[in-house]
């Protein structure tokens, strides 16, 4: 069987088993791929429950043994108003050992609820145990504060400036040289990130952000009220930042951490992203980079992180040095892949929280390239990566229901797509799991 065949993941499950460990996942945005870590934790013997609206991808997982549903968001995220109550109910009825976020919005809210005296003590203590002490929360949820902490630690990073005054921001960019990167707070997956290549582009971009903020303040008082009532400590309107541009390729490291110590991690370079140039990864390549590893160890220790965390970097073209650019205080769409490259990220967290030692695993793939499903298919249904026998195709064939949902999504985005494309995955015959998903 080819090492690129997605069934490798099923045939080589983690040896870590913990029948007693219970993890409650929280999902507030329906992000493609965020649910894959849940399946990997279930493979480690973890009992998994979920707080999310009905219809989310993660809610389709067979691994979810208990679902505490939220109302649909309807644009202003009314569902966030019910998160605190659902967590308290889950603590009473299901008794989780950990509460972990699956997206940026939930990671933001959970940290705010951990600091909110209105949250019942049992849930607050559980959140602090799951995520680490509150002293690291601001850096985890604020791009600007994260860059300040990275600078204080002496990590290699771009120059950055909080945009409080447009004239000062333009002066800073002129001193650094163009292009510069513009980032709004509380955005992810490339949304809210843009590149300004000239001064007039930066001026227009900053003006547009400011105008949008003014309109939001006028038009969305309900949303601001919802944020306050839900427990968010800081709503929309946090300062935009600009960063000096680093010439290189995007990379990231995803790790399991416990009480400020990195347990296991895996690093990847983004080979393809969607949309270009700042979107989410669709094809990745596994790498080993000592400067990325060391920077993550330092930051995890400084913030005393627990749970899953990930850090974005740019690998500089000339020197190969890693420049840290931001933090994702949660698992990401490649966290579940660690075991295939000899780093059992989920297994390490399970074992340590359960009171044992982190497991040792051997790499299970000979290829370093991974096509993320269905992201690369959505980017380009004719992608050469989908036809390659030297690429690992990360297809969730063990979950036909999730496969069916994703295939419907792909066909809706591309109605003319012929199902025969599925036979191209890995260049071989159609996988049985794919056949079942297609009905």
- The CATH number of residue 176's host domain is 3.30.1490.20
Q: Tell whether 375 and 341 lie within a shared domain.
A: yes
Structure tokens at 227: 């944020």
Q: What is the CATH number of the domain that holds 305?
A: 3.30.470.20
Structure tokens at 404: 């069916």
Domain end: 244, 270, 297, which one? 244
Which pLDDT belongs to residue 185? 77
Q: Tell whether 396 and 293 lie within a shared domain.
A: yes
Structure tokens at 251: 């990379």
Structure tokens at 338: 């660690």
User: Is 20 exposed, middle or buried, given 0-12, 13-18 or 19+ CB atoms closer than 10 A?
Assistant: exposed
In this structure, is residue 151 part of a structural domain?
A: no
Which pLDDT belongs to residue 431? 42
Kindly compute the dihedral angle of the four CA atoms of residues 284, 337, 366, 272, in this order, to the nearest 10 degrees: -10
Which pLDDT belongs to residue 355? 80
Q: How many domains does the chain have?
A: 3
In this structure, is residue 148 part of a structural domain?
A: no
Structure tokens at 347: 């297994």
Which element (helix H / strand E) includes 308?
strand 307-316
Which pLDDT belongs to residue 346? 96
Domain end: 244, 267, 287, which one? 244
Which pLDDT belongs to residue 223? 74
In this structure, is residue 150 part of a structural domain?
A: no
In this structure, is residue 381 part of a structural domain?
A: yes
What count of other Cβ atoms lies within 10 Å of the Cβ of residue 204?
Answer: 12
Q: Tell whether 102 and 218 lie within a shared domain.
A: no
Helix or strand or coil: residue 8? helix
Taking the C-alpha atoms of residue 327 and residue 141, their distance in angstroms, rounded to an integer, is 8
Task: Please provide residue 160's backbone torsions phi and psi, each rounded to the nearest 5 degrees.
Answer: -145, 160
Residues spanned by the domain of 339:
248-438
Q: Tell whether 275 and 232 lie within a shared domain.
A: no
Q: Tell whether 32 and 93 lie within a shared domain.
A: yes
Q: Tell whether 317 and 228 lie within a shared domain.
A: no
In this structure, is residue 146 part of a structural domain?
A: no
Q: Tell whether 225 and 316 lie within a shared domain.
A: no
In this structure, is residue 309 part of a structural domain?
A: yes
Between β-strands 47-53 and 64-70, what pairing exists: parallel, antiparallel or unpaired? parallel
Q: Tell whether 120 and 230 lie within a shared domain.
A: no
Q: Tell whether 252 and 224 lie within a shared domain.
A: no
Domain end: 201, 225, 244, which one? 244
Kindly compute the dihedral angle of the four CA atoms of residues 287, 288, 289, 293, in this order, to the nearest 10 degrees: 120
Which pLDDT belongs to residue 302? 98
In this structure, is residue 40 part of a structural domain?
A: yes
pLDDT tens per residue, the chain (439 residues)?
A: 333 444 444 334 444 444 579 999 999 999 999 999 999 999 999 999 999 999 999 999 999 999 999 988 766 678 899 999 999 999 999 999 999 999 999 999 999 999 999 999 999 999 999 999 999 999 999 988 999 999 999 999 999 999 988 999 999 999 999 999 999 876 655 567 889 999 999 999 998 887 766 555 555 677 778 888 999 986 545 678 999 999 999 999 999 999 999 999 999 999 999 988 888 999 999 999 999 999 999 999 999 999 999 999 999 877 889 999 999 999 999 999 999 999 999 999 999 999 866 566 888 888 999 999 999 999 998 899 988 889 999 998 888 889 889 988 888 888 877 665 555 454 433 344 444 444 4
Which pLDDT belongs to residue 432? 41
User: Which conformational region is residue 135 in: left (phi greater than 0), alpha (psi within -120 to 50 degrees), or beta?
Assistant: alpha
């Amino acid at each position: 069987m080819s090492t690129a065949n997605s069934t490798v993941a099923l045939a080589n499950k983690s040896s870590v088993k913990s029948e007693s460990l219970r993890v409650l996942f929280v999902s507030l945005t329906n992000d493609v791929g965020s649910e894959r870590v849940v399946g990997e934790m279930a493979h480690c013997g973890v009992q998994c429950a979920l707080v999310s609206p009905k219809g989310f991808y993660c809610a389709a997982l067979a691994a979810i043994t208990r679902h505490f549903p939220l109302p649909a968001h309807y644009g202003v995220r009314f569902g966030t108003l019910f998160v605190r109550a659902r967590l308290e109910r889950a603590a009473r009825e299901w008794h989780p050992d950990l509460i972990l976020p699956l997206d940026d919005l939930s990671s933001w809210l959970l940290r705010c609820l951990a600091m909110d005296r209105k949250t019942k003590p049992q849930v607050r203590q559980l959140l602090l145990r799951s995520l680490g002490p509150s002293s690291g929360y601001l850096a985890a949820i604020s791009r600007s504060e994260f860059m300040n902490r990275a600078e204080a630690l002496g990590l290699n990073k771009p120059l950055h400036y909080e945009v409080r005054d447009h004239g000062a921001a333009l002066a800073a960019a002129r001193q650094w040289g163009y292009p510069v990167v513009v980032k709004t707070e509380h955005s992810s997956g490339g949304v809210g990130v843009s590149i300004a290549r000239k001064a007039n582009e930066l001026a227009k971009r900053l003006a547009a952000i400011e105008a949008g903020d003014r309109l939001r303040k006028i038009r969305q008082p309900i949303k601001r009220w919802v944020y306050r009532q839900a427990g968010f400590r800081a709503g929309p309107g946090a300062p935009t930042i600009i960063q000096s541009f680093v010439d290189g390729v995007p990379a990231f490291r995803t790790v399991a951490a416990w009480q400020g110590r990195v347990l296991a991690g895996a690093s990847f370079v983004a080979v393809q992203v969607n949309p270009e140039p700042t979107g989410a990864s669709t094809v990745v390549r596994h790498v080993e980079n000592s400067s990325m590893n060391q920077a993550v160890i330092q930051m995890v220790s400084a913030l005393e992180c627990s749970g899953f965390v990930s850090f974005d970097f740019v690998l500089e073209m000339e020197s190969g040095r890693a420049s840290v650019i931001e933090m994702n205080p949660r698992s990401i769409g490649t966290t579940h892949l660690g075991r295939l490259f000899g780093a059992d990220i989920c297994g390490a967290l399970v074992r340590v929280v359960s009171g044992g030692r982190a497991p040792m695993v051997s790499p299970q793939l000979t290829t370093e390239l991974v096509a993320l499903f269905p992201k690369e298919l959505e980017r380009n249904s004719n992608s050469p990566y989908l036809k390659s026998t030297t690429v690992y195709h990360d297809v969730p064939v063990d979950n036909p229901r999730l496969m069916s949902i994703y295939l419907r999504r792909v066909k809706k985005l591309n109605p003319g797509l012929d199902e025969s494309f599925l036979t191209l995955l890995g260049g071989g015959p159609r996988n049985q799991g794919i056949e079942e998903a297609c009905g």
